[in-house]
Structure 1
Amino acid sequence: MQRFWEKVIKPIMAAHQPKSIVEIGADEGLNTLKLLEYGKQCDAVCHVIDPAPKFEVEWAKEWYGDTFKLYEDLSLNVLPEIEYYDLILIDGDHNWYTVYHELKQVSEMAEKSGQFPIVLMHDTAWPYGRRDMYYVPETVPQEFRHPCELKGIVPGLSGLVAGAANSHLHNADHENGERNGVLTAVEDFMEESSIPLRLHLLHSNNGFAVLLPVDSHLNPIISFILNTSGM
């Protein structure tokens, strides 16, 4: 996600000026620290969700104070606890079940608060736009989990290949099809949503997407930012 910061995320945040931010998937904190700095400078709260963050959490808590709210748990357990947010970044477990239900929980929050947030998402293109990946397969109910292996992915090939890209991850043994991949989850959610939504896509760096209501005044701004990003 941090690869999109300067040309995409930062301009979107400047236009939107969010006051309550959720980040799903912090990892080493490269994007997280930028969000926290925004929060500190602009009086916003950052809710960071990651079951195993890989950055200096105690230092961040001390430096950013009340700006920083950390939840070391799975996103689907945490999101119902956060009453309101006006921007959410989804870059956690890259599979249909998780992303679809994250978006459903976003929608439930919006129904209660009266405002659907801007949703920023990573991995909407190859390799995980149309293929599930599971960090811990057992966290996804079996009926929603495709057969998977610790084998890699090759562009244009549905099957898995030993030693290829991302072979250290549990990848679904096929590409495309129902309930498979991040972009598929987004499309399925949009089809069912009672709120008309617009999806903006970038195809570079494994894909980036922005989801927001069709009547949002920010749609032309989002289009301008993405179309002039050079990414």
Structure 2
Amino acid sequence: MISNLSDGVVGTTERPRPDVSFVVGCAGTPELVLRSLQDVVRWSDEHEPLELELVLVSAEADLLAAAQELVSGAPVRALHVEGASPRELLGIGSTVASGQQVVTLMAGELIYEQEPEPGPSAPEGTRAALAAAEGPLAERFGSRHDPHRQGRAAREQPLLLHSLSLFREVFELVFAHRTIRTVVEVGVESGQVSGIYAELGAERVHCVEPAPSDELRRTLAANPALELVERPSPTALADLPVADLYILDGDHNYATVRAEVEWITRNAPDAVVVLHDVLWPCSRRDFYYQPSHVPADQQFPSSEAGATVWHDELDETGFRGEGAFRFALHAGGERNGVLTAVEDAVAGADAGWTLSIVPAVFGVGILARDGAETRALTQALSPYTTSELLYSLENNRIALFTRVLHLDAAMVTARQVVERQEQALQDLTRRVGELESDLRSSRAQLDREQERVRAVRAALEGP
């Protein structure tokens, strides 16, 4: 049986039954479909020729021709089913004759494999099998027929999750409890998060990014709801319309964040403020992007060494910026860190403000002026903000990540030691070779001297 077609691998080499033909139902992009067919053909070439009937769902003419050429004469037919689902694909298998092997592919990966039951009961049995194998849980976490789905999703993510795009469900709650038409986003990343605000209902998103990349320019230009603002915060805030929602994810230091929050509490008291990086490592330690816009007299002495949870001081093997940012040498005390800045700005505000924190991905704070709407929003956010599970997972995440950084640095150091030892060994080997050469030369010279001595002795002794 053919199995495990994902990642271009055909799994087992078990000999298929000689009386079994194969119906292969394919859907997905042309590249994925052709990759899957190549797997089937490769398996057939390496093990035993297979009798194939290929069913291409929603197939285009070019794909149909390419598939026909790829399988070299096997019958190919196309079913033009718009938006075909896995369950519809299994319907293909329910129509084949008894004794045929059904291999159904979705998006280029095997999702189902079964010999249909003979007779009229085949369609019902086939659909029931798929219903048991595929469902809401299977779509997210994998099924018995696709056990690696979660693993694939995991390895597609960056090693260090950091983006606010992960908090879409939190933003959905904010938009559900407040009327959000205008957004000011400070620190724009790739523009992906900016688009989320527009998707949730914002009519205008002002994206404050003083040094945008060409790619970011293209991304923002492609969405009419997004406007690029090439000025640093907090000075850019006064030049923009008062917003309903402020996203503060720019420079993570006391001077910048306090100025931003103070401006918002004075000039946009009805707004919601979402702040990123309110927890480790920036909660009580300033962080300065380089080159820094923060006046020198408002900066602490800083270092390119990195933060780590394994001890309190910065470390050369910690979370470093490689020149992109610097951390304050010391944590804590007054006027130091993002969370300290928010606390001080709120303490100096005219009205009361409520700060809730989602303890995940370096911490996201939601700040709003006290009132009935804010109490309702705070209550809606409470499953996230009061979660001991999220707090524990975040602590474990940063511990594991900084541990990986330490191990990586230790590995680099060990590699350098090995390289030095290898170089020393090469030097010793070369020196041994030189000494051996000298020894051979000395031995040859000694042999010549001994020969000369014997010749002189023989001449002296005479006949």
* TM-score, normalised with respect to structure 1: 0.88
Change (3 A) 1:211 1:141: same
RMSD: 1.9
Residue matched to 2:305 = 151
Aligned residues of 1:94 and 1:132 also touching (Cα < 8 A):
yes
Which one has more relative contact order, counting CA pairs under 8 Å at least 6 apart?
1
Change (3 A) 1:153 1:101: same
C-alpha separation in 2, matches of 1:220 and 1:36: 23
Residue matched to 2:165 = 2
| Residues 169-217 of structure 1, C-alpha deviations (whole Å, 9 max, x = no match) | 2111011111111000000011111111111112221111111111142
Q: Point out where structure 1 has 5 or more consecutive residues left out of the alignment.
A: none
How many residues align? The count is: 221
Residue matched to 2:84 = none
C-alpha separation in 2, matches of 1:165 and 1:123: 14
Residue matched to 2:186 = 24
After TM superposition, give the deviation of residue 60 of structure 1 in Å. 2.9
1:227 to 383, 393, 413: 383
C-alpha separation in 2, matches of 1:52 and 1:138: 12
Residue matched to 1:192 = 348
Residue matched to 1:57 = 217
C-alpha separation in 2, matches of 1:137 and 1:185: 21
Aligned residues of 1:202 and 1:208 also touching (Cα < 8 A):
yes
| Residues 50-81 of structure 1, C-alpha deviations (whole Å, 9 max, x = no match) | 112344423532x322x222111211221011
Aligned residues of 1:137 and 1:170 also touching (Cα < 8 A):
no
After TM superposition, give the deviation of residue 127 of structure 1 in Å. 0.5
| Residues 116-170 of structure 1, C-alpha deviations (whole Å, 9 max, x = no match) | 2000111111110111000035411122100001110111533211131134221
Aligned residues of 1:153 and 1:167 also touching (Cα < 8 A):
no
Q: Point out where structure 2 has 5 or more consecutive residues left out of the alignment.
A: 1-163, 391-463
Residue matched to 2:272 = 118
After TM superposition, give the deviation of residue 107 of structure 1 in Å. 2.3
Change (3 A) 1:108 1:153: same
Change (3 A) 1:225 1:140: same
After TM superposition, give the deviation of residue 91 of structure 1 in Å. 0.5
Change (3 A) 1:137 1:158: farther
Give aligned-pair identity as a percent. Answer: 27
After TM superposition, give the deviation of residue 104 of structure 1 in Å. 1.4
**Greater Rg by CA:** 2
Structure 1 position 84 matched with structure 2 position 219? no
Q: Which moved more, 1:141-150 or 1:215-224?
A: 215-224
Change (3 A) 1:186 1:156: farther
Q: Which moved more, 1:14-23 or 1:171-180?
A: 14-23
Change (3 A) 1:27 1:228: closer
Aligned residues of 2:178 and 2:373 also touching (Cα < 8 A):
no
Structure 1 position 11 matched with structure 2 position 173? yes
1:48 to 207, 220, 223: 207
| Residues 83-139 of structure 1, C-alpha deviations (whole Å, 9 max, x = no match) | 3111111110000000000011112322xxxx4200011111111011100003541
Residue matched to 2:407 = none
Residue matched to 1:139 = 293
Residue matched to 1:73 = 231
1:129 to 283, 291, 309: 283
Aligned residues of 1:8 and 1:226 also touching (Cα < 8 A):
no
